Copies of this chain bind each other. A is one copy, B any other.
Amino acid sequence: MAKIDRRILKTQEALKKAVIELMNEKNFDDITIQDLSDRANVSRGTIYLHYMDKYDLLDKLIETHINELREICKAAADMDFVTGSLLWTEYLDNNYSFFSLMLASKGAPFFRSRFLEFLIEEFKDEVDVAKGKNLGLNEQLMGQFVASAYVGVVEWWFINEKPVPHEVLAEQLGSLLERNL
């Protein structure tokens, strides 16, 4: 991967941080480009070097995280579910401000469905309806079931502001997956 100029990364980091902060303060529609420019301490014009508009910024922010999660899935491919889940929950924990914003409250609806869609895609390969315990089950239905459950638990975790440490979340999600896949 051709390494990216550090100024680009700094600018984008600042903007991502800014949009999360501002979304915690007001409705996304009420955020102006000027707000973002001020908060991120970046020239207004600079924003247009990277994004079409604020919606594009939010989209790319979401896709960045989805892609990160995809990478984690790759890394976790040959681990058991519990160990793999630990990588996942670690990432969720490290990006608490983003996921909490997206799942626990305001930004919710769009991100939730994008997140679910991603999970269905990821679990597709894991679902094995040929396995004894899954004989006779519909493959797509299985995928939907597991992914929805996963999203639901993650949502619960954020809405309740981490009622258990992420390690516990990982361990329990891991064994629930184990049981169902």
Task: List residues of chain A with CB under 8 Å of any chain B CB.
Answer: 6, 10, 41, 43
Contact = CB atoms under 8 A, between A and B. Distances in A.
Q: In the complex this chain forms, how many copies of it are found?
A: 2
A161 to B, nearest CB: 28
A6 B40 CA distance: 11
A104 to B, nearest CB: 30
A36 B10 CA distance: 17
A101 B103 CA distance: 41
A14 to B, nearest CB: 9
Nearest to A6: B41
Nearest to A42: B6
Contacts of A43: 6
